[in-house]
Amino acid sequence: MSKIRTRFAPSPTGYMHVGNLRTALYAYLIAKHEGGDFILRIEDTDQERYVEGAVDVIFKTLRDTGLIHDEGPDVGGAFGPYVQSERRDLYKQYALELVEKKEAYYCFCTKERLDMLRDNAEAQKKPFKYDKHCCALSVEEVEENLKKGLPYVIRQNNPTEGVTKFEDVIYGTISVDNEELEDMVLLKSDGLPTYNFANVVDDHLMEITHVVRGSEYLSSSPKYNRLYEAFGWNVPVYVHCPPIMKDAQHKLSKRTGDASFEDLLEKGYLKEAVMNYISLLGWNPGTTQEIFSLEELVEIFNYKNINKSPAIFDSEKLRWMNGEYLKMMPLEEFHTLALPYILKDIKEKPLNTMKIAEILHNRVEVLAEIEGQLDFFYALPEYSIELYTHKKMKTDSAVALSSLETILPVLENIPEDAWTLENLHEIVLNKVKELGLKNGQMLWPIRTALSGKQFTPGGAFEAADILGKTESLERIRIGMDLLKKELQ
């Protein structure tokens, strides 16, 4: 068997959609699983959609995710150039070859005539299909129009009878009645090829063996196959991937506000977790394992296990997976990643950020959710006295005041250099036991006094340890004053 060669061929439109990234990942895995080559090709023939800087986004995303291409615009290779606009002259040569073979023809129809055909199709509630008007032009008529300099496109000449079939690895045999095939434009009036035509020519010339793309291209594949057959070229293995849905009815789409890869990173997701999750959108390894490194995916990936059914993008599942990655991370690495988010809350306050990171390490699923959890470390917020009442903790304002009045002198007697998490834990719980209280009757009032919040990462001891003795005692006194005023 010849060496497997796959390609990722994005259009530079400004961002990396999750579906695009999955296509790149699957193409990479198919090639690398068999020791093949992964090629990057930039498809910029649609100049209206071109976004400045978008090619850099593509390069950066592939680099950051570890999908390193063997050939491409930035690294070169034996089959370049790897940017379609730089291959412009090539496509016309192949389009004219098809005209010679009567597999394509010049079309001189004006925009007005095409608009009329579309309006007629719409009025009859039929899909628009070009009526082959120019296919009937004689060689002399074509020559005359070309001499006049009339604008033209070159269209594929598809049959109107019979059936075209093709094999897809995932969806099996697909059959299409030829009368449904559109004579698609191959070469536009500006001399650039259409996406569909350039794909076929480039995939052949670059010796691509496996074409990975979304299932939305299934309907175009018969037209691609007819081009391969017209040229006498081998048809590649087609791997059409199921759509990624946000729910049962709606496809995931950046246009409707769904997250791109860059958006997910900005929200605090790890690229490794995102790639792991994307790998499972439409494919499964046949085992219960869900956490995979890229190297493990290369080892076990079998594209024949890709599903036909749509994949639902489950944000909660992605959050869980991201949390698992964070937990597996060494504390020092987690601290580095979490620090920008921690500093947004504690600002310039000189606190031990490593201790804060340690509290967060096993509690955070997405880094961006850190912001807003730690602001009490910077300043005690104004809070409702009702926070001291907690049914499950068996505490109310009276119990809370009694507990704080009891524990304050105990805490005051702890030397500054002995104010540690371990000592606080031991000393306070010994006092709770001595008093015959439930743990919550002491710890909930302390935590409330220290944070002024109903929910905090970590409990009373962690908060007191990080805030330090002086500020912890000051906050407990403030809490006691509030409780006294309410109970007077």
pLDDT for residue 258: 64
Q: Are 393 and 441 in contact (CB under 8 A)?
A: yes
Axis crossing angle, helix 469-487 with helix 460-467, rounded to the nearest 10: 120
Q: DSSP per residue over 386-442, as a string?
A: GGG-BTTTTB-HHHHHHHHHHHHHHHHTS-GGG--HHHHHHHHHHHHHHHT--HHHH
Distance, in Å, from the CA atom of 445 to the CA atom of 472, rounded to the nearest integer, reads 13
Q: Are 186 and 95 in contact (CB under 8 A)?
A: yes
pLDDT for residue 249: 79
**Residue 231: what residue type?**
F
CATH architecture of 1-71+242-328: 3-Layer(aba) Sandwich (3.40)
Which structure tokens are listed for 248?
């049962």
CATH number of this structure's domain 88-187: 3.90.800.10
- Tell me the β-bridge partners of 185: 155
- Tell me the β-bridge partners of 167: 173
Instruction: Encode pLDDT of 247-281 as tens digits.
Output: 877 787 766 666 789 999 999 999 999 999 999 99
Q: Cβ neighbours of residue 487 under 8 Å, at least 6 residues apart?
A: 397, 398, 401
CATH number of this structure's domain 380-487: 1.10.10.350
- Say whether 355 sits in a helix, a strand or coil: helix
End-to-end CA gap in the chain: 88
Instruction: Encode pLDDT of 128-175 as tens digits.
Output: 999 999 999 999 999 999 999 999 999 999 999 999 988 888 899 989
Distance, in Å, from the CA atom of 230 to the CA atom of 242, rounded to the nearest integer, reads 29
* Rg, Å, the chain Cα set: 32
Catalytic residue IDs: 254
Closest CA to 325 of 357, 367, 288: 367
Axis crossing angle, helix 439-451 with helix 397-412, rounded to the nearest 10: 80
- The DSSP 8-state label assigned to residue 40 in this structure reads E
Closest CA to 156 of 130, 119, 175, 177: 130
Is 254 within any annotated ligand binding site? yes
- Kindly report the three-state secondary structure assignment for every residue of 169-237: CCCEEEEEEHHHCCCCEEECCCCCECHHHHHHHHHHHCCCCEEEEEHHHHHHHHHHHHHHHHHCCCCCE
Distance, in Å, from the CA atom of 220 to the CA atom of 227, rounded to the nearest integer, reads 11
Q: Are 31 and 67 in contact (CB under 8 A)?
A: no
Q: Are 345 and 373 in contact (CB under 8 A)?
A: yes
Distance, in Å, from the CA atom of 77 to the CA atom of 70, rounded to the nearest integer, reads 8
Strands (E) across 42-84 are located at none
In this prediction, the residues of the chain whose per-residue pLDDT falls under 50 are none
Which structure tokens are listed for 162?
């019979």
- Tell me the β-bridge partners of 313: none
- Tell how strand 37-40 and strand 244-245 pair up: unpaired
Angle at 485 between CA 483 and CA 488, to 5 degrees: 105
Domain range list for the chain: 1-71+242-328, 88-187, 329-370, 380-487
Closest CA to 74 of 88, 61, 91, 55: 55
